[in-house]
Homo-oligomer: A and B are copies of this chain.
Amino acid sequence: MKYDHQLSRVLIVGGTHGNEFTGVYLIKKFEQFPQLINRSSFETLTLLANPQAFTAVRRYINKDLNRCFLRHNLEDLTLSSYEDLRAREINYLFGKNGKTPVDFIVDLHSTTANMGITIIVDNDEPFNLQLAAYLNYINPAIKVCNLGNSGRSHDSLRSLGRFGICIEVGSVPQGVLNAEFFLKTEAIIYTILDYLELYNQEKVPSFSNNLICYEYLEKIDYPRNEQGEIQAMIHPHLQFQDYEVLHPGDPMFLTFDGQIISYQGNSTVYPVFINEAAYYEKGTAMCFTEKHQITI
């Protein structure tokens, strides 16, 4: 373990999407009981990122806040949707040149896909990967997914921090608070804060430097007609099978008139975000990943 980066400020974010309640209610809890997230070697801040969307129980009001943080968007003062304004405000508070710039961001999300507890990293940044590997070492049920190839490292809220990860839990419906995932997410946050404390003290215990990482390949859309309407559903054999292997020839979709559409690729892949509600409008039925054993 290299100790290159003393961390002085950590930001925990919930409600970047207003209808993902796990994060929202954890932020409310931490704001009521701040001692739970206080650690001696750094300051911990909290943010309910999209309060209007939470009040409306929607992912966003005008546009997806978690796609609003491209540098040129933040600098474009002609952008004036609620989420554009909110992104600039958040950047002004916590960004690199902001009022209280943060070294590390934990962004809390939920998905309707059956992704269990997933740590999402957006790049190969060793600091983030080491933390992810540590969390997987503490709890092997935790999956680690690298979305670096999807461009998320540039436009997401967590890209504002020097370092950052996302905790993605599911399957949880939008607008639903699931106690089991609330408790599991809470436990991981405490483990992260304790890890960052140990890191600052240069006392991180040694752990395996091998990690299974699911690396983003591409997104797959639903079959659609010329009007853009979906013409098929996730096949029942694939529904809820996130992180399971998909072989060439395996069923992917079932059309409304009962035809099976199977996977036509040449290599095995590992789909994630299968049937995520918010991704219908993004043209994403699932994301393909490759499973890699990496050494940190």
Taking a contact as CB atoms under 8 Å apart, the answer to whether A175 and B277 are in contact is: yes
Residues of chain B within 8 A (CB-CB) of A235 are 179
Q: Spell out A's residues near B (CB within 8 Å).
A: 25, 28-29, 32-33, 57-58, 112, 171-180, 182-183, 229-230, 233-236, 239, 254, 256-257, 275, 277-278, 280-281
Known A57-B280, A234-B179; judge A229-B28 contact (CB<8 A).
Answer: yes
State how many copies of this chain the complex holds.
2
Residues of chain B within 8 A (CB-CB) of A25 are 230, 233, 256
Known A179-B234, A179-B236, A234-B179; judge A256-B28 contact (CB<8 A).
Answer: yes
Shortest distance from the beta carbon of A84 to any chain B beta carbon, whole Å: 21
Taking a contact as CB atoms under 8 Å apart, the answer to whether A281 and B28 are in contact is: no
Residues of chain B within 8 A (CB-CB) of A239 are 178-180
Give A176 to B29 CA distance when docked, in angstroms: 29
Taking a contact as CB atoms under 8 Å apart, the answer to whether A233 and B179 are in contact is: yes
Q: Which of A29, A57, A172, A257 is most buried by chain B, counting CB atoms within 10 A of its CB?
A: A57
Shortest distance from the beta carbon of A241 to any chain B beta carbon, whole Å: 12
| A277 contact from B174, B230, B257, B275, Cβ within 8 A | B174
Q: Which of A182, A229, A233, A239 is most buried by chain B, counting CB atoms within 10 A of its CB?
A: A233
Residue of B whose beta carbon sits closest to that of A58 = B58
